[in-house]
Structure 1
Amino acid sequence: MKLHHYILTFTLYTLVPSWALAQKGHAKKHPNIVYIMSDDHGYQAISAYGYGLNETPNIDRLAKEGAIFTRATVTNSLCAPSRAVLLTGKHSYMNGKIDNEAKFDWNQDNFAKILQKNGYQTALIGKIHMDGLPQGFNHSAVLIDQGEYYNPNFIINGVKQQIQGYVSDLTTDMTLDWIAKRDTSKPFCVLYHQKAPHREWLPALRHLQQYTSKTYKEPNNLFDTYEGRGTAAKTAEMNILKHMNWAGDNKIPPALMDELGLKEYLSWDKAAFNGNLGRMTAAQRATWDSIYNPIMADFKMKYHNMSKEDLMRWRYQRYMQDYLGTVAAVDDGVGRLLEFLKDNGLDENTIVIYTSDQGFYLGEHGWFDKRFMYEESLRTPLLIRYPAEIKAGQSSKALVQNLDFAPTILDYAGLTIPKDMQGKSFRGLLNGKEKQWRDAVYYTYYEYPSIHMVKRHYGIRTERYKLIHFYYDKDEWELYDLEKDPQEMQNVYNVQAYQNVREEMHHKLDEARAYYKDSDENDKKFLPKVKQ
């Protein structure tokens, strides 16, 4: 197994900030970095990936003018842990942020601190979903917890402010404003983090009519019964029909829920609807109601004659209309950013990365949300543009992970990658200098028991196979042949024809856990505390 951790070293003038080297003629001009992370943006909802659900022309530009990765993955498919991995270049059990509840220690090192110490201006704008004042940034303007879609609250350099407008547009506005007002004598790195398309999916007013008028193709396993798999898939609580909120998610007003006898699945269902729409101004709400009231009137008329299959299909369409509607504003923001860079002469020397904190289920297996090591959750979109070094139109199947972002950014900045970072720079893959790459990626998930009830598990994925171990309240193994079964519908762990593969995958998993310093003792350390 080729899990060698290559550390790139550079000759640095330690007494001179790295950005100043270019001015002294010691090195070429250091690149600016714009790292765009959306929240829960499944690769299926980026048209460059070819799934045909929607159009994202601005995000697609990054693939046309740079590179697209088709097998990029995360180490832990959950919002806050993914961001901690991004910052530290370390697995969740190493940086301490194993789930959304654990505290993140901002005192530990992160790549933004390293850039900052070496002359970069740094900013974090948008969603970070971790408590505490961000460290490593000259400027921060972050949403509180999950943030709000309309008229959101930001904490700007430690001060809470409510700003009128739509969150994706405001995050873009603040990012462009910070870049415009920066110190132009220094390179910059900005983390431009969108809330969308995170639940509860409230599109911008300008996109409501277009997206609520469309009908979207259903995945062929929308009505998955989970036969051929273990307990975890069968007991997860993320089914669109059974577990999605009626009001908060599908936008059915609480009064209509009561009239139709629809019950809350989660206790905050109606509160989410009232809170999200209650933030709107009178003008915003009037526009919203003009689009959604007719949809709900039609649903009211049809509801009592709908079968469970009809309801599943209706809820899937409502989900896709709102989810993809929120993606549209994210794509608008990418377009504005790219034009801003071009208009200001920054496009040639600025690295632009687009990704998500993880993948997301868009009806596959009948699900929404993420968490599992199955493909739609594990894989994340990754597109990168840097005209000075990355040849346009590249596509890579390399098994890169969010673990690799910090080392890659530091590599491009010409800085030494700390030895305790567990990821590896993928710069060499893009400039053609790297011929060897890892042949497997390692994954962990800890947030159980909790919302969606996805069981604790860890596992390994190679180009063709995936081995998963569900533990804690179960001891179950799953093995998938991704070449023959890309939708992961049949666990072949106990199939005789796969016994040699199973043995080889166990060996690779043991090797990966040793290499990344994980163990059964780590698993036990992070088990839920028993109440006395």
Structure 2
Amino acid sequence: MKYSGQVLYSLSGVAVLFSALSCSGKKEKSAKPYNIVYIMTDDHTAQMMSCYDTRYINTPNLDRIAADGVRFTNSFVANSLSGPSRACMITGKHSHANGFTDNTTCVFDSSQQTMPKLLRKAGYQTALVGKWHLESLPSGFDYWEILPGQGDYYNPDFIRMNNDTVQRRGYVTNLITDIGINWLENERDETKPFAIFLHHKAVHRDWLPEIKNLSLYEDKIFPLPDNFFDDYNGRLAAAAQEMSIAEDMDIIYDLKMLAVGKESRLKSVYEQIIGRMTPEERKAWDHFYDPIIQDFYSRKLSGKELAEWKFQRYMRDYMKVVKSLDDNVGRILDYLDKKGLLENTLIVYTSDQGFYMGEHGWFDKRFMYEESMRTPLIMRLPKDFDKKGDIPQLVQNIDYAPTFLDLAGVPVPEDMQGIS
């Protein structure tokens, strides 16, 4: 979908950035090519960022990007599923054109044209760290290190370029940032511009927080969305989706209520996940959760009371995972500032889709209401752009590839369906 009325302006003959960055924001073009730092999370919805919504959480580092740059208020994904969304972003094409239409049946054709390949061909160094989730191995990157599949929150495995798999000790959000900063500091060619793609596992289900953040937000009570107890009147197909907090949110896998003699559909998966913890981590985990588990089963909740209890635990866990994410965005910003890279770098923060935080009684993203299609998008622009504030024009994630190419002075291929 291409919105009408676009106005592009030229910096030394290169049309750059979105149409909303009008001529009034133009300065003299930098003598150096612009760097690109692209930070993408999984299932991080705009209402859980305080630069978009102040009801729930404070995200000071994400807010730094918005305050120093631009916030898109009508940003959408072309396909609200993790793998297909990532394929749309990297190719600038809709799912039917890039061939990756579904998480379960497709393998991304890595031989096809992608934005990182075109940047690399134009002289950029490119790196990818974190969640790939396209089944095939990455191509078009000078460096990559990716999580297998969804990856793990604790002591995760990483697949490296020589195709071996190593386990790294630590929390996945910190590790992805560590690897990215190490590449920037020690492995890149400083004579070349760079584009680094930091793809986080966070804030994906089942919302496992960093151990040090376990006790955060426990005293916070969240207001229920107005339509939390939606009866789906006239929308019966919606009621059939397996996204209900009341019915489908697993009491053990999602809400961590593991106890002797208690069963759930996803119990064995949860046990494998927490089995990756070190003994010290597991001790801290059990110390925190044991009293909550005991209290929960003693109350014998049901019906609306159980649904509301689930909602509160879900929101707290989600926020704890966002806290580590926001801290690591701050680490990246501070590193770029310390190294004098901040003013010549486009910094982008977004998510692969939106997410339901209790709206319609749901979690997840598998129904095409606005909460799942609308995604956060904030950018800190290079010093040559004066533009700050909100950008209301409709954009999609198929627009990222042509925008980055345009900024780099690389011709945008005609078969890309997004626009700069």
- C-alpha deviation, 1:3, in angstroms: 4.5
Picking from 90, 105, 108, the partner of 1:104 is: 108
Residue identity matched to 1:192:
L
Could you tell me which residue of structure 2 aligns to residue 32 of structure 1?
35
- C-alpha deviation, 1:290, in angstroms: 1.2
Instruction: Let me know the Cα RMSD of the aligned residues.
Output: 1.9
Pairing 1:356-435 to 2, within 5 Å after superposition = 356-391=351-386, 393-425=388-420
Instruction: Indicate the larger mover: 49-58 or 346-355.
Output: 49-58
8 Å CA contact 1:66, 1:386 repeated in 2: yes
8 Å CA contact 1:65, 1:392 repeated in 2: no
8 Å CA contact 1:143, 1:153 repeated in 2: yes
Residue identity matched to 2:94:
H
2:240 is the alignment partner of 1:245 = no
CA deviation map 1:340-387 (0-9, x unaligned): 000000000011000000000000000000022211101000000014
2:209 is the alignment partner of 1:214 = no
Picking from 283, 286, 310, the partner of 2:283 is: 286
In structure 1, how many angstroms separate the alpha carbons of the residues matched to 2:90 and 2:6? 19
- C-alpha deviation, 1:210, in angstroms: 1.1
The 3-state SS of whatever aligns with 2:363 is coil
The 3-state SS of whatever aligns with 1:351 is strand
Could you tell me which residue of structure 2 aligns to residue 172 of structure 1?
177
The 3-state SS of whatever aligns with 1:290 is helix
Could you tell me which residue of structure 1 aligns to residue 157 of structure 2?
153
CA deviation map 1:79-103 (0-9, x unaligned): 0000000110000010010010211
Pairing 1:108-507 to 2, within 5 Å after superposition = 108-157=112-161, 158-181=163-186, 182-227=188-233, 229-255=234-260, 257-258=262-263, 264=264, 266=265, 269-303=266-300, 306-391=301-386, 393-425=388-420
Max Rg structure? 1
In structure 2, how many angstroms separate the alpha carbons of the residues matched to 1:307 and 1:279? 32
Alpha-carbon spacing, 1:5–1:173, altered in 2? closer, same or farther (3 Å) = farther
In structure 1, how many angstroms separate the alpha carbons of the residues matched to 2:57 and 2:47? 9
The 3-state SS of whatever aligns with 2:342 is coil
Alpha-carbon spacing, 1:179–1:7, altered in 2? closer, same or farther (3 Å) = farther
8 Å CA contact 1:83, 1:357 repeated in 2: yes
CA deviation map 1:472-499 (0-9, x unaligned): xxxxxxxxxxxxxxxxxxxxxxxxxxxx
Could you tell me which residue of structure 1 aligns to residue 80 of structure 2?
77
Alpha-carbon spacing, 1:421–1:6, altered in 2? closer, same or farther (3 Å) = farther
In structure 2, how many angstroms separate the alpha carbons of the residues matched to 1:2 and 1:146? 32
In structure 1, how many angstroms separate the alpha carbons of the residues matched to 2:365 and 2:62? 22
Picking from 43, 55, 60, the partner of 1:57 is: 60
In structure 1, how many angstroms separate the alpha carbons of the residues matched to 2:30 and 2:329? 30
Instruction: Indicate the larger mover: 40-49 or 365-374.
Output: 365-374
In structure 2, how many angstroms separate the alpha carbons of the residues matched to 1:398 and 1:256? 54
- C-alpha deviation, 1:291, in angstroms: 1.0
In structure 1, how many angstroms separate the alpha carbons of the residues matched to 2:215 and 2:410? 48
- C-alpha deviation, 1:392, in angstroms: 5.8
CA deviation map 1:408-460 (0-9, x unaligned): 110111110000000011xxxxxxxxxxxxxxxxxxxxxxxxxxxxxxxxxxx
In structure 1, how many angstroms separate the alpha carbons of the residues matched to 2:212 and 2:310? 22
Query: What is the number of residues matched between the two proteins?
Result: 401
Alpha-carbon spacing, 1:383–1:3, altered in 2? closer, same or farther (3 Å) = closer
In structure 2, how many angstroms separate the alpha carbons of the residues matched to 1:202 and 1:256? 23
Gaps of 5+ in 2: 15-28
CA deviation map 1:196-217 (0-9, x unaligned): 0101110001111113342222
Alpha-carbon spacing, 1:3–1:214, altered in 2? closer, same or farther (3 Å) = closer
Residue identity matched to 2:319:
L
TM-score with structure 2 setting the length: 0.92
CA deviation map 1:174-203 (0-9, x unaligned): 111111121110000000011001011100
- C-alpha deviation, 1:333, in angstroms: 0.6
The 3-state SS of whatever aligns with 1:348 is helix
- C-alpha deviation, 1:297, in angstroms: 1.1
- C-alpha deviation, 1:28, in angstroms: 2.2
Alpha-carbon spacing, 1:2–1:180, altered in 2? closer, same or farther (3 Å) = closer
Gaps of 5+ in 1: 13-25, 259-263, 426-532
CA deviation map 1:104-135 (0-9, x unaligned): 10000000000111110000000011122201
